[in-house]
Amino acid sequence: MTAKAKKNDGILQLSIKDDMTIYNAEALKETLLGYCRPDTRELQLDLSAVAEIDSAGLQLLLLLKAEAQRRGFILRLLRHSEAVIEVFELLKLGMYFGDPIVIPANWKKS
């Protein structure tokens, strides 16, 4: 899995650079859970480069949300890609994660 991480004062910013599918779910799970450390106050996950997400990728986001609640840090999903927005809208998950979803002006919903 390709990800870019920056940490500043307990806030970890992580950009996912791959699709969130069954094909890379195991590697993605290991990477994401590796960032759930005691010194993390907030994990910000940039989803703008996620071109495809399936049920395995969605399960990873749900797992990460549960880990954040269990370990007591804040999870923020940022810059949702069109693929992520479509899944969240289909399954009515926007409110569950609680992060604002901004739909780009040039979005061509099929």
Let me know if residue 40 belongs to a domain: yes
Q: Is residue 109 assigned to a domain?
A: no
Question: The domain that contains 56 carries what CATH number?
Answer: 3.30.750.24
State the pLDDT at residue 65.
94
Report d(CA 110, CA 56) in Å as an integer.
23
Q: Is 61 inside a domain boundary?
A: yes
Domain that holds residue 47: 3-97
| Domain total of the chain | 1
Residue 51 lies in a domain: yes
pLDDT for res 2 = 58
Q: For the chain (length 110 residues), average pLDDT per consecutive 10?
A: 68 91 93 88 93 95 94 93 91 84 68
Q: Which residue has the tokens 């799970």?
A: 29
Report the run of H or E that residue 77 belongs to, with start and end: strand 74-78
